[in-house]
Amino acid sequence: MNIHRALLDQLTPLLGADAVLTGADVSGRAAGIWRKDFVTAAVLFRPANVAGVAAVLKACNERGQAVVTHGGLTGLAEGALATVDDVVLSTERLNQIEHIDPVNRVMRVQAGVPLQRAQEAAEKHGLQLALDLGARGSCTVGGNAATNAGGINVLRYGMAREQILGLEAVLADGTVVSSLNQMLKNNAGYDLKQLFIGSEGTLGVITRLVLRLRPLPTGRETALLACKNFEQVVALLAHLEGGLGGGLHAFELMWRNFYELVTVDRAPLDTGHAYYVLAEARGNDRDADHERFVNVLHQATQCHLLEDALVCKSEAERNELWGLRENVELTLESASAIIFDVSLPLTEMEAYVQQVEQRLTREWGGQARLWVFGHAGDGNLHLVVAAGNQPQDVVRERVERCVYEPLQKIGGSVSAEHGVGLEKKKWLHVCRNPAEIELMQRMKLALDPRGILNPGRIFDSVPAE
């Protein structure tokens, strides 16, 4: 009997028919956001509890069956792409917000809860889950943990790792490791949650999370600022961080041609400046916060750290500005467009982007297009490259060379926040040395000796002896 048939026979009575999808119920599902293809796996299990996840993994492990975990499928590193031979394990029915403790400021949620639902549940208690990203409506907190997601609050609160106090994960052999710590401090042995956070589903399937909550700032000050050169951008960031006394939440940077593209209908600030910054500060004293924000911007103008500024007067204006920054889809219209997510020191950004531009021009002349934007305050840029009208798979390797190779010399990374997945594994050596990669492989072998969990993601596993 083939493996998939045997798994269906064994697991359907255990999990219930609702938890098992095959045929058109699987192949009718989009393979991911911004993708035009569909899920190709033969079987999709969607257990509604941890015991179900454990049963699926145990049964697959016994047969050496590869399992690919699906969260909200908003990941941008091809980590959740399955083949016809794979079994998919979806967390979509692990969707309960189990507990919110407003006094100790923690919430316990199942891994398939969409980020936005968790955020809204915390806000009902006057608290915030400080993780936030453009895909908030579709991505899951389990996927956020698995990818150690970043987003738009990293400058102030850190990445997903910093918002997670404890978690529960199921290992490849079905062992459930509940490490649901709720405290800020717990140095009793290894911090096991850190093994799973950012491991992209290669070491275990995350099923529950204890998330740290923080006081919800009631006020929000947002401005769009224009700079004439990169020195101004660097000095402006330092000025805002210093002047706003820890209140700066976001410092998003857009290169001129990205700004021009997304403001083609209506530009809130004149086009023609070299850089545009979307800066946001939050606090709890609206009048005082507003006064301070405006004063700090006024000082920045007097010190020649910016050329023009627009301070939002309403939530609608704020949403409009964030809508521009998050309107990445406009850059993806060309068939060859590829999005990159690199990390590098702020001081290297200008020269790095120029170098990438030169390399692309050498390869494709005037056919090459490059848009740059991102979380510059976190040292994280997104580059979108369109190299003529050829499809992605024809140009990908040459484009990747242009973008990734210059990172090695400046100590950058091929993934700031999206992860490595299948897409970037051949470039891992640009930012990780052989000893680091070997240690990762040894950890994989120890936790998943048969290599069934998201195989081939991040690096190729070494076979067990």
Ligand X SMILES: Cc1cc2nc3c(=O)[nH]c(=O)nc-3n(C[C@H](O)[C@H](O)[C@H](O)COP(=O)(O)OP(=O)(O)OC[C@H]3O[C@@H](n4cnc5c(N)ncnc54)[C@H](O)[C@@H]3O)c2cc1C
Which residues bind to ligand X, rule: CB under 6 A? 33, 68-76, 79-80, 91, 111, 133-135, 139-140, 142-144, 146-147, 149-151, 200-201, 205-206, 417-418, 421, 454, 457
Reading the block at residue 398, the tokens are 């040459």
Nearer to ligand X, 33 or 311 (CB): 33
Q: C-beta of 284: minimal distance to ligand X in Å? A: 25
For 119, residues 6+ apart whose C-beta sits below 8 A from its C-beta are 128, 129, 131, 132, 136
**Which position has the token pair 């999370």?**
209
Nearer to ligand X, 200 or 280 (CB): 200
Q: C-beta of 222: minimal distance to ligand X in Å? A: 17
Q: Which residues pair with 87 in a beta bridge?
A: 43, 67
Nearer to ligand X, 205 or 381 (CB): 205
Nearer to ligand X, 118 or 387 (CB): 118
Q: C-beta of 270: minimal distance to ligand X in Å? A: 27
Cβ neighbours around 185 below 10 Å, total: 7
386 close to 368: Cβ distance less than 8 angstroms: yes
73 close to 31: Cβ distance less than 8 angstroms: yes
Reading the block at residue 59, the tokens are 């049964």
Q: C-beta of 418: minimal distance to ligand X in Å? A: 5
Q: Which amino acid is at 363?
A: E
Q: C-beta of 193: minimal distance to ligand X in Å? A: 12
The full length of the chain comes to 465
Q: C-beta of 126: minimal distance to ligand X in Å? A: 25
Nearer to ligand X, 148 or 232 (CB): 148
Nearer to ligand X, 36 or 185 (CB): 36
Give the residue nearest to ligand X (CB). Answer: 143
Q: Which amino acid is at 397?
A: E
Q: C-beta of 129: minimal distance to ligand X in Å? A: 13
Q: Which of 87, 83, 27 is nearest to 53 (CA)?
A: 87
Q: Residue 261 in 3-state DSSP?
A: helix
For 257, residues 6+ apart whose C-beta sits below 8 A from its C-beta are 370, 371
Nearer to ligand X, 127 or 149 (CB): 149
Angle, vertex CA 377, rays to CA 303 and CA 127, nearest 5: 110
Consecutive H or E run containing 208: strand 205-212
